[in-house]
Chains A and B, each alone.
Chain A
């Protein structure tokens, strides 16, 4: 199994009492809650954490894109990737760029190609549709999300692989002179990963024989992770091949403490802030109409059912398998078990979450790198199905 240190770069200084006045940390939370002086310190702290993870021997660093919220402060992940590029050695995984949100997908082709060139081919390119709330924040029509994702993807891959200039004529995009400079460093193009919450259309598309893209299940109850990774494997079989562990990944928050009890005590307020304050969204934000097809909507509703409703405690999150927390031995054993039952090739550890402070993040990260990664790193994945 390979390990990526993933970061969301939340606004950890968020005044958590915002919920007295506002219903969500997304879309409508006034940006007066953001203090740029604190933000400056946070960005540099987070970059330090990621550089530390690189020195600790993680296979890569993971970042992503979010807009207009306190949950994730990377509206342009290429800027963060650029800041990491010169002082790191491992992979840089941009997981991912939200293709349907932009009106010109070639800016994404250029941005990712630029990172790939600076890093000499250390880029992993993630493509996503964006969170439902971002269709409100950027006012992109969610009912065209799948169409735009597909067309933008095709355009970017063609821009990466075909000698320009050529004319792209599509339903949503028209560019008479597609001629991307710089071309990507990796040939034919950087590896493409597809993070998702479990949209069936996305899984079928990613697993198709002509793509075989690595599918990454994002923060979800463990039962949903299993369901969607199995769905990917089944789709691969239907497409005439067997999916390898390298095609399957999972992202979850992790905290490694001195002991199980100490870990729980230390992580409790921060993971509960993550789940109940930073991720707080109304159903209308999460699922604007058309964001999911009518058939897919039901599946995700079921998967996320345990995440909505009232506040979640650390015990709920650990019991649901959404949060991995404990001593190094406990975390290692749980991950080994998940690797066996899920057939995972990649684990993305979210080692900072919510309000978790710097020192605690660094200690947990160090324990993870020292005591959890080595015994799991070279173990071959043997999937035990169901």
Chain B
């Protein structure tokens, strides 16, 4: 795994990159990753895995233009262009899944497929926990079925601030998004932790119903972060989906 710095749209972003194969761009949720995770290593056996810290998150710079998920969608169009990525598997968790949808609706030319993991973007069909009202410890416990599986890391005020900036109101959704998801023509996989208490699994059904031909993978014994809690099952599901798309 290599750590790279790229300047796109005037903003220096930190990018973890490893493996070889078709490019898989993974967009993180409310917290940037501080380390190369086991699910990335699993995926890196088949793909070139590219994991940036979003502008304003983690080790990346905070640009003055960043106000919304739409801004990040435009940014990642520029990012794909700047890194000359072709035929991209675009995966996103939580906020990253929302960014991925917004990007795909704007410009899907370089996308091979879409993987949405416990994704934000649609209004909740049933109330989940409000992450902004939970203490950091309570949020950590609420995010996992078994908190012992959580990688050791403290939440960051920088990540929390930017999560609020793009996701506070409406709370983690865009009322316009649901109207246009039916226009997506990219093969899509909707992955959800069966025990997600932040975005309950009914959201998976909402996404699957909205995107034509979308497949669904419910990951057992996992909460809001199935890629961290069940890395092997998660990666196997993504690889099987990618193989199906190629075939």
Interface mask (B130-150 → A, CB under 8 Å = 1, otherwise 0): 001111000000000000000
A139 at the interface (CB under 8 A from B): yes
Evaluate whether A141 and B164 lie within 8 angstroms (CB atoms) in the complex, with A289-B157, A294-B157 already known: yes
Measured CB to CB, the residues of A under 8 A from B are: 27-28, 135-136, 139-144, 282-285, 288-290, 294, 297
Whether A284 lies near B134 (C-beta < 8 A) is yes
Whether A297 lies near B132 (C-beta < 8 A) is no
Whether B133 lies near A141 (C-beta < 8 A) is no
Give me 30 A-to-B residue pairs in the complex whose CB atoms sit less than 8 angstroms apart, sorted by A's number. Answer: A28-B133, A135-B168, A139-B168, A140-B169, A141-B165, A142-B168, A143-B161, A143-B162, A143-B164, A282-B133, A283-B135, A284-B132, A284-B133, A284-B135, A285-B133, A288-B132, A288-B164, A288-B168, A289-B132, A289-B157, A289-B161, A289-B163, A289-B164, A290-B160, A290-B161, A290-B164, A290-B165, A290-B168, A294-B157, A294-B161
Is chain B's interface secondary structure helix, strand, loop, or mixed overall?
A: helix
Whether B133 lies near A142 (C-beta < 8 A) is no
Q: Which residues of B contact A143 (CB under 8 A)?
A: 161-162, 164-165, 168
Kindly state the separation between the CA atoms of A180 and B174 in the bound complex, as whole angstroms: 34
Kindly state the separation between the CA atoms of A136 and B162 in the bound complex, as whole angstroms: 16
B74 at the interface (CB under 8 A from A): no
Whether B169 lies near A141 (C-beta < 8 A) is yes
Complex: chain B residue closest to A28, CB-CB = B133
Whether A282 lies near B135 (C-beta < 8 A) is yes
* B132, B158, B161, B165: the one within 8 Å of A136 (CB): B132
Complex: chain A residue closest to B158, CB-CB = A294
CB distance from A10 to the nearest CB of B (A): 23
Kindly state the separation between the CA atoms of A88 and B68 in the bound complex, as whole angstroms: 48
Whether A297 lies near B157 (C-beta < 8 A) is yes
CB distance from B127 to the nearest CB of A (A): 13
Kindly state the separation between the CA atoms of A289 and B134 in the bound complex, as whole angstroms: 12
Kindly state the separation between the CA atoms of A27 and B164 in the bound complex, as whole angstroms: 18
Kindly state the separation between the CA atoms of A232 and B162 in the bound complex, as whole angstroms: 29
Q: Which residues of A contact B197 (CB under 8 A)?
A: none
CB distance from A249 to the nearest CB of B (A): 30
Q: Which residues of B contact A290 (CB under 8 A)?
A: 160-161, 164-165, 168
B215 at the interface (CB under 8 A from A): no
Complex: chain A residue closest to B134, CB-CB = A284
* Residues 192 to 241 of chain B near chain A (Cβ within 8 Å): none
B46 at the interface (CB under 8 A from A): no
Interface mask (B152-181 → A, CB under 8 Å = 1, otherwise 0): 000001101111110011010000000000
Whether B164 lies near A139 (C-beta < 8 A) is no
Whether B133 lies near A136 (C-beta < 8 A) is yes
Apart from A140-B168, A141-B168, A289-B163, what are 4 other A-B pairs with CB-CB below 8 Å? A140-B169, A143-B168, A290-B160, A290-B164
CB distance from A135 to the nearest CB of B (A): 8
CB distance from A29 to the nearest CB of B (A): 13
* Residues 96 to 117 of chain B near chain A (Cβ within 8 Å): none
Complex: chain A residue closest to B159, CB-CB = A289
Kindly state the separation between the CA atoms of A27 and B168 in the bound complex, as whole angstroms: 16
Kindly state the separation between the CA atoms of A141 and B162 in the bound complex, as whole angstroms: 11
Q: Which residues of B contact A297 (CB under 8 A)?
A: 157
CB distance from B119 to the nearest CB of A (A): 20
CB distance from A324 to the nearest CB of B (A): 33
Q: Which residues of B contact A141 (CB under 8 A)?
A: 164-165, 168-169
Kindly state the separation between the CA atoms of A190 and B163 in the bound complex, as whole angstroms: 38
CB distance from A292 to the nearest CB of B (A): 9
Evaluate whether A144 and B165 lie within 8 angstroms (CB atoms) in the complex, with A289-B160, A294-B157 already known: yes
Kindly state the separation between the CA atoms of A197 and B120 in the bound complex, as whole angstroms: 34
Complex: chain A residue closest to B155, CB-CB = A289
Kindly state the separation between the CA atoms of A18 and B169 in the bound complex, as whole angstroms: 29
Q: Which residues of A contact B165 (CB under 8 A)?
A: 141, 143-144, 290
Q: Which residues of A contact B168 (CB under 8 A)?
A: 135, 139-143, 288, 290
Complex: chain B residue closest to A27, CB-CB = B133
Q: Closest 6 interchain pairs by CB?
A: A143-B165, A289-B160, A141-B168, A289-B164, A290-B161, A143-B164
Kindly state the separation between the CA atoms of A169 and B195 in the bound complex, as whole angstroms: 46
Q: Which residues of A contact B134 (CB under 8 A)?
A: 284
| Most chain B beta carbons < 10 A, residue from A28, A139, A141 | A141
CB distance from A205 to the nearest CB of B (A): 18
Kindly state the separation between the CA atoms of A314 and B164 in the bound complex, as whole angstroms: 37
Q: Which residues of A contact B132 (CB under 8 A)?
A: 136, 284, 288-289
Kindly state the separation between the CA atoms of A283 and B139 in the bound complex, as whole angstroms: 13
Kindly state the separation between the CA atoms of A142 and B161 in the bound complex, as whole angstroms: 9
Q: Which residues of A contact B160 (CB under 8 A)?
A: 289-290
| Most chain B beta carbons < 10 A, residue from A136, A288, A289 | A289
Q: Which residues of A contact B164 (CB under 8 A)?
A: 141-143, 288-290
Q: Which residues of B contact A284 (CB under 8 A)?
A: 132-135
CB distance from A75 to the nearest CB of B (A): 19
Kindly state the separation between the CA atoms of A159 and B239 in the bound complex, as whole angstroms: 60
Q: Which residues of B contact A142 (CB under 8 A)?
A: 164, 168
Q: Which residues of A contact B171 (CB under 8 A)?
A: 139
Kindly state the separation between the CA atoms of A182 and B168 in the bound complex, as whole angstroms: 35
Kindly state the separation between the CA atoms of A284 and B162 in the bound complex, as whole angstroms: 15
